[in-house]
């Protein structure tokens, strides 16, 4: 079995490793929000450009 380096961890594994392996729901939820929130903000800010790019790349016919 291959042991993954920290750079190869999924977000869930990285969040659990922050708690030291303990099941702390508060820390896990705070970490999940702090990881997700910047992505949501970027999507909201660039929504117009994302939709325009999807429209230009759509197959017409």
Cα–Cα distance, 7 to 29 (Å, whole number): 21
- Mean pLDDT per block of 10 residues along the chain (61 residues) reads 83 77 75 89 94 83 61
pLDDT at position 19 is 73
* N- to C-terminal Cα separation, the chain: 50
pLDDT at position 58 is 79
pLDDT at position 47 is 94
């Amino acid at each position: 079995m291959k042991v993954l380096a920290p750079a190869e961890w999924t977000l869930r594994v990285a969040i659990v490793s922050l708690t030291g392996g303990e099941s702390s729901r508060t820390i896990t939820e705070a970490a999940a929000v702090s990881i997700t929130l910047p992505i949501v903000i970027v999507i909201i800010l660039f929504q117009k450009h994302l939709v325009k790019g999807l429209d230009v790349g759509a197959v017409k016919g």
